[in-house]
């Protein structure tokens, strides 16, 4: 089994991808970034994803994982908070598999970032309930219970002041409203206190581009829970998607082997009867 997989991170402004060495969690080639087309319709985005993959020389059968900023159930997008609404109901797995010619696994972007942190970053070996909260254009969440992901938790949409919390405390809101660190920090305090009260996590990991500047806001927070910056930063989505794709491929191969074995056994049994 190859320890290499390809990861792609689809975001509101950019689509980024690179091959990943899954024994170290490191990119094995420089990542490529393409602007997300506007409007970000399924068709237009799928073309860019295909273009990105084609710019690498990926060996046949290498697992490909793709992140998407929406609730993903069995490969199908159920929501579209910060992307074109036409994604709702789109089978993203099938669309990208068809368009790229590779077997693609799609996962919520925050879940992918969480997987990367648990495997290679600030969540390694952490027991109990771990929350990875990604602060970006929107706010994403990944929740792990003893290392196992509870997918699509969508805690950026917890209600705060009568609306989705992300509309009040996302990193993009800090930029848009030109909030100073103290003012934004006070908003984060409200949000994280709420998350802490609801889930009693053992650790909170804060990711997203702004986590580079964690010294400006994490020390302002007063929580009972340990709160730490993500370690993978910008590459978490790519690494997590690649890790997931490899796991999925492995379990699909295992399932296929099991089916083949059962079929063989049944054939042998039928043959011995006749
Ligand atoms: C979406 C999530 C996503 C998050 C971060 C939210 O608006 O609902 O699915 O994980 O943004 O991109």
Output the CATH code of domain 124-234: 3.30.420.40
Give strand pairing partners of 132.
Answer: 142, 205
**Residue to mutate, 11, 139, 152, 234, ligand 1, most ligand atoms under 8 Å from C-beta:** 139
pLDDT at 1: 47
The closest of 254, 191, 180, 253 to 217, measured between CA atoms, is 180
Reading the block at residue 111, the tokens are: 């879940």
The pTM for the full model equals: 0.92
What is the 257 CA–ligand 1 centroid distance (Å)? 36
- Report the nearest-CA residue for atom 5 of ligand 1: 140
What's the rounded Cα separation, in Å, for the pair 155 and 159? 9
The closest of 213, 115, 194 to 156, measured between CA atoms, is 194
**What is 4-111's CATH topology?**
Nucleotidyltransferase; domain 5 (3.30.420)
24: pLDDT confidence band, cut at 50, 70 and 90? Answer: very high
183: pLDDT confidence band, cut at 50, 70 and 90? Answer: very high
248: pLDDT confidence band, cut at 50, 70 and 90? Answer: confident
**Residue to mutate, 76, 140, 149, 210, ligand 1, most ligand atoms under 8 Å from C-beta:** 140
Same CATH fold, 124-234 and 4-111? yes
**Residue to mutate, 15, 83, 84, 110, ligand 1, most ligand atoms under 8 Å from C-beta:** 110
- What pLDDT, in 10s, does the model give residues 65-111? 999 999 999 999 999 988 999 999 999 999 999 999 999 999 999 99
Using the 8-state DSSP alphabet, how is residue 91 labeled? B
- What pLDDT, in 10s, does the model give residues 144-167? 999 999 999 999 999 999 999 999
* Residue-range domain boundaries for the chain: 4-111, 124-234
**Backbone phi, then psi, for 162, in 5-degree steps?**
80, 10
């Amino acid at each position: 089994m190859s320890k290499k997989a390809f990861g792609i991170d689809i975001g509101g402004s950019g689509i980024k991808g690179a091959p990943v060495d899954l024994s170290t969690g490191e990119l094995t080639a420089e990542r490529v970034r393409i602007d997300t087309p506007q409007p970000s319709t399924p068709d237009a985005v799928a073309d860019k994803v295909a273009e990105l993959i084609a710019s690498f020389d990926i060996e046949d059968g290498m697992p490909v994982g793709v992140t998407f900023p929406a609730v993903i159930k069995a490969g199908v997008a159920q929501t579209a908070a910060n992307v074109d609404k036409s994604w709702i109901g789109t089978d993203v797995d099938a669309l990208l598999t068809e368009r790229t010619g590779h077997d693609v696994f799609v996962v919520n972007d925050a879940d992918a970032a969480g997987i990367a942190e648990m495997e290679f970053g600030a969540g390694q070996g952490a027991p109990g309930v771990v929350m990875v909260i990604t602060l970006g254009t929107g706010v994403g969440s990944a929740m792990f219970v003893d290392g196992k992901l509870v997918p699509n938790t969508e805690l950026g949409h917890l209600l705060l002041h009568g609306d989705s919390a992300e509309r009040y405390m996302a990193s993009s809101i800090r930029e848009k409203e030109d909030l100073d660190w103290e003012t934004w920090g006070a908003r984060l305090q409200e949000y994280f206190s709420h998350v802490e009260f609801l889930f009693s996590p053992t650790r909170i990991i804060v990711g997203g581009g702004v986590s580079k500047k964690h010294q400006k806001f994490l020390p302002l927070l007063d929580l009972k829970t340990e709160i730490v910056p993500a370690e993978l930063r910008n590459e978490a989505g790519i690494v997590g998607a690649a890790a997931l794709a490899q796991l999925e491929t492995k379990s699909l191969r295992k399932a296929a082997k099991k089916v083949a074995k059962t079929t063989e056994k049944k054939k042998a049994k039928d043959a011995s009867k006749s």
